[in-house]
Structure 1
Amino acid sequence: MSIHYKISKPIVRSLLAYLDLCGHDSKAVCQSLDINHLDIMNGDGLLPSDVYTTLLKAGANITNDPAFGLHLGISAEPERWGVLGYIMTCCHTLNEAIHCQHRYQDLVGSMGSLTVSPRRDTLRMLWDTDFTPLATQAEEAITGWVAFGRWVTDTNLSPSHIYFSHPAPQNTQPYQQFFNCPVEFDAEFNALEINASLLGTPLKKPDKTMKGRLILHAEERLEDIDEPQTFLKVIKRYIKETLPKKTPELTDAAAIMELTPRTLQRRLKNKGMHFSAVIEETRNELAFQYLADTKNTMADITFLLGFSEQSAFSRAFKRRTGKSPGEYRKTTFE
């Protein structure tokens, strides 16, 4: 099956705005590439991803900037991510914003997905793709996360480690200077790690009421998106359908994907993941979704997520978010 990746118009517009800022007429650039500039500038829908990759390549070429992805990422502001950006801006803490990014990331496209993995003293944010991304794509994504994090907290917070899967450029100084932490190239994945102590950093403009309204809008938008059946999404769909009935098994997931269990395990390992972690992540995503619908009782959600007792669901949710399910629903939607 051929997968058609998408990218949101606000992200493409932010690229065009950056080209204008660099002194290049973005409308003329689009015309030279036979790209519909007017369509990009109107609405907040999704575009074919090759529009973005074509413009990224052109941007790096016409600016003659080897670190074009880095510098594009540094310019990130909430508008780049549309509704998602505004939701994150309204959160109370950095941790809350990260969880919202994870939940509503499909609003900005399907080229890559955020996978959040808690570790002993850090949180790893992995930018996961089912294809080999351009260096500019990976750099823009990871750098944009850091730039936005600094903007929304009004601090100069830095990650503890950066990973890029592409080879190191000739000059790595701009990367070290911006990230202010070890930057590893030729890594097995594209990711950042942030010290867990920073997750409670307050955001500068929290707005519970506006966040609740935006989340309701985001939930409606998600229902209208035709998502590609990427590797992890197929697994997560199986887990979602299985949780109310029994504990999801790697062997069953492998059979659905027409893979051997060993092959599926290897593919997950290559992404720095384990099947049990995917189950936990899927449960967390679904918990946010089910809690947003106030018609769902806590007993309903406990059953849908495959927990044997409501207390087990509450402990798991609080471990991930710092709040009980009831507290989260009350502070977000009531």
Structure 2
Amino acid sequence: MTKNSTSPQNALGDISLLYVSVLMRAVEAEGGDSNALKKQFRLNDPGLASPEARISIPRFMRLGHAAITSTGNPALGLRMGALTRPVDAGLAGLAAETASTAGQALTTLIRYSLLTSQNSRGEPSIIGQKRQARFYSIQPYNSYNYFVVDSVLATWTQMIRHITGRYDVLESVRIEYPSIGQEEMFESWFRCPVEFSATENSIQLKDSAWHHAPTQAHAAMHSKLTNWCEEELTELRQGWRVADRVRRLMTPLLRGEAPTLETLATKLGTTPWTLQRQLSAEGTGFRQLLDETRKQLAEDYLQETNASLAEIAWLLGFANPPAFHKAYQRWHGISPGEKRKLKSLEK
């Protein structure tokens, strides 16, 4: 069972090492040196085999970038998807495999995605009436995170292909980042039209695929496994403090402006006064939490991506880059530009 957990130590979140194992298999399939990558990122086989072990999102992105550099394949995320098995998604993957329809399987996989991946940017969602699965925005996009979108959409697609025994399961794929010159490869892999520079990251299933009965469908086992998933999800969330819940809601809203106490209270179904009182009881406050969250995220964005300082300022909800520079100077006594230069020298 999952142990109680507060918010991840890394502000951007963490991901199960099960997915790192898939990445290593993809590297090997592409002729890359997985052992060298394991050594570089201090990974070991027992850790990669543990369903409880996690890696921070920034470290996972750096590992993915290194894997792409090692293999020379910028579409390595598609290879990851092709090599993913239901068990690589943990208990949620096994529960999905026993669903009564492919649509229910995808819904199950996404509902319990939190058990293997926590990301402050958001959570994936399912729109049943549209037979559509959506992955949240992780803009700004760069060579460190293209593969994340590719691997997630490809993994969902591979799951549906695996449980239905069909390859023609999609009507369309939408990808938020702009084309990097691989349209033909993506359309060949997904076997449907792929739109880049779209307003979302998503796959849309064909009606026949959505209602297709999986080869491993088993109502009683599906019920047992999803009940287990529900227990783990409840246990996980019970370990969150009010501050953790506020931080999870706050981060996706930091896009060009700072969220208000009123907005977050509404999302939590309470009043601003009650929320402030709850935070105070935990030894913090809304403004303090906002400042700490921005400070943690700033470090992650500076190390994780090659996003410009103006883009980072926007992601942190500052009105303009000078406001970000002023805050960073207050936090560290150094400008973000100087900190980024120091980090690059350390590598």
Q: TM-score when scaled to structure 1?
A: 0.64
Aligned to 1:61: 69
Counterparts of 1:4 and 1:171, CA distance in 2:
28
Contact 1:130/1:230 (CA < 8 Å) preserved in 2? no
Tell me the equivalent position of 1:173: 184
Secondary structure of the equivalent of 1:47? strand
Structure 1 counterpart SS, 2:177: coil
Aligned residue identity for 2:79: H
Tell me if 1:150 matches 2:161. yes
Map residues 1-334 of structure 1 onto 2, 5 A cutoff.
3-111=11-119, 113-119=123-129, 122-129=130-137, 131-132=139-140, 134-225=145-236, 229-231=247-249, 242=269
> What is the aligned-residue RMSD (CA, Å)?
3.3
3-state secondary structure, aligned to 1:34: coil
Question: Aligned equivalents of 1:132 and 1:37: distance in 2?
Answer: 33
Q: Compute the displacement of 1:63 (Å).
A: 0.6
For 1:331, the equivalent position in structure 2 comes to: none
> Residue type matched to 1:92 in 2?
S
After superposition, give the CA deviation of every residue in 1:173-214 in whole Å (9 maximum; x if it has no partner). 111112222111111221112234432111011123322332
In structure 1, what is the Cα distance between the partners aligned to 2:54 and 2:171?
Answer: 33
Cα distance in 1 for partners of 2:188, 2:214 equals 24
Tell me the CA shift for residue 233 of structure 1: 9.6
User: Cα gap change, 1:33/1:99 in structure 2, threshold over 3 Å: closer, same or farther?
Assistant: closer
- Structure 2: unaligned runs, 5 residues or longer: 1-6, 254-262, 280-285, 288-347
Cα distance 1:210–1:176, how it changes in 2: closer, same or farther (>3 A)?
same
Aligned residues: 247
CA distance in 2, matches of 1:153, 1:238: 43
> Could you say which structure has the greater relative contact order, defined with CA pairs below 8 angstroms and 6 or more residues apart?
2
Alpha-carbon offset, residue 130 of structure 1: 5.5
Distance in structure 1 (CA, Å) of the matches to 2:67 and 2:162? 24
Code of the aligned partner of 1:213: K
SS of alignment partner, residue 127 of structure 2: strand
Deviates more, 1:182-191 or 1:37-46: 37-46
Contact preservation (8 Å) 1:66, 1:169: no
CA contact (8 A) 1:113 1:129 kept: no
Distance 1:129 1:40, change over 3 A: farther
Q: Would you say the 8 A contact 2:25–2:83 is kept in 1?
A: no
Displacement of 1:222 after TM fit? 1.7
Instruction: Letter of the 1:176 partner, please give it.
Output: E
Separation in 2, partners of 1:224, 1:49 = 22
Instruction: Provide the C-alpha distance between the structure 1 equivalents of 2:155 and 2:109, rounded to a whole number of angstroms.
Output: 13
**Cα–Cα, structure 1 residues 137 and 26, in superposed 2: closer, same or farther, change >3 Å?**
same
Distance 2:177 2:97 in 1: 31
Q: Distance in 2 between matches of 1:94 and 1:238?
A: 37
Ranges in structure 1 where 5+ consecutive residues have no aligned partner? 243-247, 259-334
